[in-house]
Amino acid sequence: MKLKIRIDEEVYEVDVEVEDDGGAAESARSSPRALPISSIPFAPAVASPPPVAGPTVFSDKVCRSPISGIVVRINVHHGQQIKMNDPLVVLEAMKMETNITAPVDGVVKNVTVAMGQAVQGNQVVVELE
Domains of the chain: 2-39 (no CATH), 59-128 (2.40.50.100)
Segments of 18-117 assigned E as strands: 18-19, 25-26, 62-64, 69-74, 81-82, 87-93, 96-101, 106-111
pTM of the complete model: 0.55
Segments of 54-105 assigned E as strands: 62-64, 69-74, 81-82, 87-93, 96-101
CA distances from 62 to 5, 92, 124 (A): 46, 20, 7
Which tops the pLDDT comparison, 87 or 55?
87
pLDDT tens readout for residues 44-63: 555 555 555 544 445 778 99
Residue 68 and residue 118 in contact, taking contact as beta carbons nearer than 8 Å: yes
Residue 33 and residue 13 in contact, taking contact as beta carbons nearer than 8 Å: yes
pLDDT tens readout for residues 12-21: 887 877 776 6
Distance CA 99, CA 106 (A): 18
Look at residue 60 and give its three-state secondary structure.
helix
